[in-house]
Structure 1
Amino acid sequence: MKTHNHLILELAKRVEKAALELGATLTLEEAYSAIVEPPQFEMGHFAFGCFRLAKAMKKAPPAIAAELATKIQSDDMLKSVSAAGPYLNFIINAKAYGDLVINPVLDESFFKREILETNPKTMIEYSQPNTHKVLHVGHMRNLCLGNALIKMGRSINADIISVTYPGDVGTHVAKCLWYLKKHNNSPIPEGSPETKGAWLGQIYTKASHKLDDELGTDQEEKNRAELTAILKQLESGSGEYFDLWRETREWSLRLMEKAYSWADVKFDRWFFESEVDAPSLKFIKELFDQGKLVKDDGAIGMDLTDDKLGFCLLVKSDGNGLYATKDVQLAKVKFEEFKVKKSVYIVDNRQSHHFKQVFKVLEKIGFDQAKDCFHLAYDVVELPDGAMSSRKGNIVPLMDLVEQMEARITTDYLEKYRGDWSNEEIKQTAHAVAGGAIIYGMVRVDNNRKIVFDMDEWLKLDGETGPYLQYARARITSLVDKLGPVEENIDFTQLKTNAELMLASKISRYNDIIEKGWNDLKTIGLCSYLYDLSRLFNSFYVECPIGKAETNELKQARLALAKATGGILEHGLAALGITAPKRM
């Protein structure tokens, strides 16, 4: 493992040496990985659990802790060492926090350390919106989660390929084109392709309503036949509906690009369902000819009953493919084109069964990399009054929401600065705060829990929100600008209170939090860390005056600690995809 936390590394060296003196074999890596944070800071800043030495030393962990404590002496780094049950507790000197944590954060070397022990090339597929529908706030959980994981990983030099996979063919597209061609009476709106893309979402909703209304009538079979004919044209790549598809597809893609630009999201590769549609059908037919698939009532698939996954349908009796058809083909393309070692699919938990089937099909057809495919599931986003549905039309279009939030932020928080701030700074700050509210709200919740979007709550400057963290960082920046600059050769022994040392200790764990978040593919840990750090800073600021410190030496030490906190907040927010305004 990489022993990148220099503070914990120094503790591990002392533990390793003490264990050796007691006749026990303990590697540096074992000691390093066993050092944790005690539940109460007063007990110790860090602790080593002696459980792993019990078997080799044939003693109870509390007895081992007591013996180790006698072998480790206080020094410039360690203020004290004490045994507490099975744990060895350490109190760190302020100078060590300064030398090993605060100064490295201030000179940025802290963020350039080699963190990852292994670094397999990983593809993350996220944000799979459908063309011919509206991109709404519900899509943002996927987008924010994927982008945050990628930025977290890349902040510690993880080798990542980011891709998206919009659904630009399928029944939803046929419905939209069908209504647009046969039933629409309203004119195509003037203006940008993005405006037309948003309008297509309304057409899709109207199409869905009309088709639902005509279920069970004489029109139902006719409608189904017309939709099938449209799908055939799209598959063949010619015909009036294919031409209409190409035109309207561009409108939707421009709308997507506008949303991605707002969120500062960039993809290394755009995959499209349309590019794997025909090849996937060809591949499935080849597998059938090889005897790896079966035909049932004209449809082709794989019986996964023995795996408790039912029947995976791959080609319908009318000859059209399904999502599974394309995903089997796309899996091959991903590994062949980019030579990745791991392929992650960020898709909501309603598709869990789908991916279990797809991965099992890949395994049974002999695709070796099936074991390297992973579905990262998450729960959905709802409004306070329930779930959203493009088909029903009860959605909040993303770009409309963004405009509303930025206007609200400007009116409630920033208008008072007009005249002192430029109009451009007010605009950019509103943009950043709206982004912070949405992104943090989407990634702070465990993936297994639903999110209820509430604009009023998410925009608050107090509580666990993105704007709260942005404000904390802006406040620190203003403080440092007012009281700084931070001098060189700081005397960190001036830091003596728990409020100061708790903050320094929290800062020291930043890289550990990022590493764990990337390895676990979770953002909640970083979000909680940044929120806790901000709260600790607020306590420190109240208890430990900076501008009115008793001496200049104490002022400078506290100012350096504050600036380091601001640096961690800036890097941490950036790792979530959140911009930190300089002032708010």
Structure 2
Amino acid sequence: MDYIILKIKKQIIDLIAQAIEVDFDLHKLEVVVPPDSMMGDLAVPCFYLSKITRQSPNQIAQELAEKINSGGVIKEIKNIGAYLNFFIDPEILGKSVNNEIQKNKDIYGGAKNSPKKIMLEFSQPNTHKEFHVGHLRNAILGNSLVNILRFSGHKVTAVNYIGDIGAHVAKCLWAYDKFYSAKELPENKGKFLGQVYTDGSQKIESNLEYKKEVDEVLQKLETGDKKWTALWKKTRKWSLDDFDRIYKILGVKFDHFFYESEVEKPGKKMVAELLEQGVAQKSEGAVIIDLEKYHLKQFLLLKSDGSSLYSTKELALAKLKFEKFKIDESIVVVDSRQSFYLQQFFKTMEVIGFDKKMIHIPYEFVTLKDGAMASRKGNVVLFEDFYNQVVDRATIETKNRHEDWPEKKINEVARKIALSAIKFNMLKVGNNSVITFDIDEALSFDGFSGPYIQYTCSRISSVLKKAKVTTFSTIDYSKLNSDLEKEILLQLASFPEVVAESAKNYDPSQVAKYLFDLAKLFSAFYQKSPIINSTKEIKEARLILVDSIRKVLINGLDLLGIEPLDQM
């Protein structure tokens, strides 16, 4: 879409190109936002231009300021040091930005340029284990990236790759059969399996005989033993049903599910073919691909006993993704501890002739106060416990604010506030930052939090309701003439660029930070500028401005997977 901010930046670059007689690469010319509004609304640093014109940056900036005529949306041009500074006409900006937002509504900020067919794989929990807050960060990040990429015009297939076979399954089934099969099952069977797995892991650590028994279970599962296969199918469903329940709570949806069990045999077949072709080789009975010349060591494809590895199954999965779904690129959201493995895997696919675009989005883990999580030991922060704690706190605080509300409404609003607190807290920092969740900070109504953004939407809804606004007629945009109003307009205008950068960098934190900045601007505006108690012209102009703020906040929250609220 041809947004006003993009038009202005293009106009600036075109004006400079016309004023300079030397040919240059237009893409290398930056249009930036100055640190101080006294220095203009947009600025062009002239360091690149000084190289091609062989003049000092200050000299070329001064020359261009004298040469280029202002007009239209560009009200004034002047140079400050090595920068060429542009001042935007607030009336034209106000009309253009508000018209764009009011016209496009829930698609404002999106794009339709050069769409790609992308498969985005995320979440990837293991059955027979509990869903913990590490899984939660992955699910929230992946879901937000799907939203952002779709909003940016791409055709995205959201997929989940579930680990439903392997040593962890054998451990859980062995422990269940040996210690729990006669016990009465609880209502939440998925959570129960996680406890069985943890208990089994601890027992195995101190008993070599138990380890041998688990290895036997694993072998029997791989050979299709009837007893163990039947137990696997039954318990697998318990886990999958529980995952589905959690995804519904989170509002996370997938277009397709892959399972390790469906790609194990095709993976082993591919390894055998690579061995036969001489691409892979035997090493102490195992099958490897030598990546030493790429400084990536040896990549293990199959164990010496013939059992599969994660890499075995990944070979077939990658092929299945591209051949069945005809995608342009595959993106996987996996924690940063798997970065080296994925470098090895991507290089392996390249070496075997499968040269497709595959991207890894790494993220850091979520910590406890006493260190990182580990479900094997049982000291993990479980989703269920974590979520309930945040909901309970949100419920108490909502009840304290609204004693007159019915219980159903309190619970529903509290649930949405809690989800907002969790999601925003997981997304407000870059993917490469470790998260230590602070419940007070996450639920704050006046800090860098999801509830603060929701609260801003709620305040604007209250203003609009009080003003009894249904539609906007002819607006006098010259009334939006204060420095703060202009700053808000520029912030609103920049939303499409923030979304584009967020999609380009696979980084939802850019959207989260933008929303916080916009919410703070509204708060400052609300304190300083009367809206309802103003003259008719000023009131109408300010009402459309705050309505535009609300629409953009809602669009941004939607990208993060967060619901706005009209009352809090």
- Regarding TM over 0.5, the answer is yes
CA contact (8 A) 1:345 1:374 kept: yes
Amino acid at match of 2:433: R
Compute the RMSD of aligned alpha carbons: 2.1
Task: Quote the Cα distance in structure 2 between the aligned partners of 1:567 and 1:109.
Answer: 7
CA contact (8 A) 1:93 1:493 kept: no
| Residue 459 of structure 1 pairs with residue 439 of structure 2 | no
Moved more, 230-239 or 243-252: 230-239
The CA deviation at 1:403 is: 2.5
Find 1:99's aligned residue among 72, 95, 100.
95
The CA deviation at 1:117 is: 4.1
Specify every segment of 5 or more residues in structure 1 that has no aligned partner in the other structure, as ranges.
Answer: 215-219
The CA deviation at 1:559 is: 1.6
Name 1:251's counterpart in structure 2: 238
Deviations along 1:294-346, one digit per CA (max 9) or x if unpaired, are 11222111222222222212111221011111112211111111111111111
Find 1:491's aligned residue among 476, 499, 509.
476
Matches within 5 A, 1:253-402: 253-369=240-356, 372-402=357-387
Amino acid at match of 1:321: S
Name 2:173's counterpart in structure 1: 177
Task: Quote the Cα distance in structure 2 between the aligned partners of 1:542 and 1:51.
Answer: 40
Name 2:488's counterpart in structure 1: 503
Amino acid at match of 1:383: L
Matches within 5 A, 1:425-574: 425-485=409-469, 487-549=472-534, 551-574=535-558
Task: Quote the Cα distance in structure 2 between the aligned partners of 1:446 and 1:75.
Answer: 40
The CA deviation at 1:148 is: 0.6
Amino acid at match of 1:406: V
Amino acid at match of 1:569: L
**CA 1:503–1:400 in 2, change beyond 3 Å: closer, same or farther?**
same
CA contact (8 A) 2:302 2:312 kept: yes
Task: Quote the Cα distance in structure 2 between the aligned partners of 1:72 and 1:429.
Answer: 55
Aligned residues: 567
CA contact (8 A) 2:122 2:161 kept: yes
Task: Quote the Cα distance in structure 1 between the aligned partners of 2:39 and 2:351.
Answer: 54
CA contact (8 A) 2:108 2:555 kept: no
For the residue of structure 1 that corresponds to 2:37, the secondary structure is coil
The CA deviation at 1:514 is: 0.4
Find 1:12's aligned residue among 6, 10, 13.
10
Deviations along 1:99-118, one digit per CA (max 9) or x if unpaired, are 22122112226835773543
Amino acid at match of 1:285: A
For the residue of structure 2 that corresponds to 1:405, the secondary structure is helix
Deviations along 1:214-241, one digit per CA (max 9) or x if unpaired, are 2xxxxx1x33332232223322334211
For the residue of structure 1 that corresponds to 2:91, the secondary structure is helix
CA contact (8 A) 1:104 1:110 kept: no
Moved more, 71-80 or 438-447: 71-80
For the residue of structure 2 that corresponds to 1:175, the secondary structure is helix
CA contact (8 A) 2:73 2:89 kept: yes
The CA deviation at 1:425 is: 3.3
Name 1:217's counterpart in structure 2: none
CA contact (8 A) 2:288 2:298 kept: yes
| Residue 206 of structure 1 pairs with residue 199 of structure 2 | yes
Task: Quote the Cα distance in structure 2 between the aligned partners of 1:9 and 1:50.
Answer: 20
- TM-score (normalizing by structure 1): 0.92
The CA deviation at 1:67 is: 2.5
Name 1:187's counterpart in structure 2: 183
Specify every segment of 5 or more residues in structure 2 that has no aligned partner in the other structure, as ranges.
Answer: none
Task: Quote the Cα distance in structure 2 between the aligned partners of 1:56 and 1:456.
Answer: 54
The CA deviation at 1:47 is: 1.2
Task: Quote the Cα distance in structure 2 between the aligned partners of 1:114 and 1:132.
Answer: 40
The CA deviation at 1:460 is: 1.5
**CA 1:516–1:228 in 2, change beyond 3 Å: closer, same or farther?**
same
For the residue of structure 1 that corresponds to 2:39, the secondary structure is coil
**CA 1:489–1:364 in 2, change beyond 3 Å: closer, same or farther?**
same
| Residue 138 of structure 1 pairs with residue 123 of structure 2 | no
Task: Quote the Cα distance in structure 1 between the aligned partners of 2:5 and 2:299.
Answer: 53
Amino acid at match of 1:123: M
Task: Quote the Cα distance in structure 2 between the aligned partners of 1:121 and 1:329.
Answer: 20
CA contact (8 A) 1:115 1:156 kept: yes
The CA deviation at 1:11 is: 4.7
CA contact (8 A) 1:16 1:26 kept: no
Task: Quote the Cα distance in structure 2 between the aligned partners of 1:69 and 1:275.
Answer: 65
For the residue of structure 1 that corresponds to 2:359, the secondary structure is strand
Amino acid at match of 1:38: P
Deviations along 1:363-420, one digit per CA (max 9) or x if unpaired, are 2212121xx112111111012232221111112321332233222212112454354x
Amino acid at match of 2:168: H
Name 2:21's counterpart in structure 1: 23
CA contact (8 A) 2:5 2:494 kept: no
- TM-score (normalizing by structure 2): 0.95
Deviations along 1:479-506, one digit per CA (max 9) or x if unpaired, are 1111241631111111222111111111
CA contact (8 A) 2:131 2:383 kept: yes
CA contact (8 A) 2:445 2:451 kept: yes
Percent identical pairs in the alignment equals: 37
The CA deviation at 1:86 is: 2.4
Task: Quote the Cα distance in structure 1 between the aligned partners of 2:16 and 2:339.
Answer: 49
Task: Quote the Cα distance in structure 1 between the aligned partners of 2:484 and 2:309.
Answer: 58
Task: Quote the Cα distance in structure 2 between the aligned partners of 1:435 and 1:89.
Answer: 43
Task: Quote the Cα distance in structure 2 between the aligned partners of 1:566 and 1:546.
Answer: 15
Name 2:218's counterpart in structure 1: 231
**CA 1:278–1:226 in 2, change beyond 3 Å: closer, same or farther?**
farther
The CA deviation at 1:143 is: 0.7
For the residue of structure 2 that corresponds to 1:108, the secondary structure is helix
